[in-house]
């Protein structure tokens, strides 16, 4: 009597997941984990892209705010209050020491230069000192070239006048000495003879007397003479 077909044992067959594990070396659980990893990496990439975009927006916002505040400070140089003008000059100088922005200044150099001229002419003491400092920083930002040469030619006569003005404060005169030397250093058209002569006129006040005895110089003037000598040595 022929034997009947042998029935397979219950549970003896290979599952699809087991077969895939045998053939591909992965299981259903591994596939789920892999899919989760891909999703996680995609999510992280999206978050990073959004963060970078957010940083770019924040950086642009900060740049816009910086320029807005700087424009306000430049406008403040021409206000009626002497204290306000001095504060505005200092604010612009502080901005120029923090950031290199020649492109921004190229279109505004005439406005800044006009403000410096007014403050040197009509201001006194701290205002003149702040104006002189800003003049040097403006030329440093613009660098060597025609634009700086023009600024130097406009401001040097005023700086020289202030340096030789005995009625001006020693602080303002000292700042003007430093700025005059810096402009001479950057001005490609300056032969420096006049600048040397101006600075020499100032610090020669500390020369010894004809009989060899030291000159009697007040502390404020001694500081001025030292500044003039330091500026002269730059050239």
Domains of the chain: 63-207+215-234 (1.25.10.10)
Mean pLDDT, residues 159-165: 96
Mean of per-residue pLDDT scores for the chain: 82
Residue 156 has pLDDT above 70, yes or no: yes
Q: What's the pLDDT score for residue 28?
A: 54
pLDDT of residue 11: 45
Between 11 and 100, name the one with better pLDDT. Answer: 100
Which pLDDT band holds residue 60 (cuts at 50, 70, 90)?
Answer: confident
H/E segment holding residue 21: helix 16-24
Evaluate if residue 42 carries a pLDDT over 60.
no
The mean per-residue pLDDT over the stretch 193-220 comes to 87
Q: What is the pLDDT of residue 24?
A: 47
How many other CB atoms are there within 10 angstroms of residue 186's CB atom? Answer: 19
- Count of Cβ atoms closer than 10 Å to residue 109 Cβ: 19
Instruction: Give me the residue label for tokens 């077909």.
Output: 5
Q: Does residue 234 carry a pLDDT above 70?
A: yes
Confidence (pLDDT) at 44 = 53
């Amino acid at each position: 009597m022929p034997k009947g077909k042998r029935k397979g044992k219950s549970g003896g067959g290979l599952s699809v997941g087991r077969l895939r594990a045998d053939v591909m070396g992965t299981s259903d659980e591994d596939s789920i984990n892999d899919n989760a990893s891909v999703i996680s990496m995609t999510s992280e990439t999206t978050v990073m892209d959004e963060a970078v975009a957010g940083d770019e927006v924040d950086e642009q916002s900060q740049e816009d705010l910086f320029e807005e505040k700087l424009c306000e400070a430049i406008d403040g140089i021409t206000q009626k209050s002497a204290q306000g003008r001095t504060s505005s000059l200092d604010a612009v100088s502080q901005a120029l020491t923090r950031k290199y922005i020649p492109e921004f200044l190229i279109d505004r150099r005439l406005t800044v230069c006009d403000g410096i001229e007014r403050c040197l002419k009509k201001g006194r003491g701290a205002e003149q000192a702040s104006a002189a400092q800003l003049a040097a920083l403006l030329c440093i930002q613009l660098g060597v070239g025609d634009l700086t040469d023009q600024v130097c030619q406009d401001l040097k006569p005023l700086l020289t006048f202030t340096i030789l003005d005995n009625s001006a404060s020693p602080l303002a005169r000292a700042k003007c000495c430093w700025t005059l030397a810096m402009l001479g250093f950057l001005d490609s058209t300056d032969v420096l003879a006049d600048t040397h002569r101006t600075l020499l006129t100032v610090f020669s006040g500390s020369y010894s007397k004809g009989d060899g005895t030291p000159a009697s110089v007040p502390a404020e003037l001694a500081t001025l003479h030292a500044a003039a000598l330091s500026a002269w040595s730059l050239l």
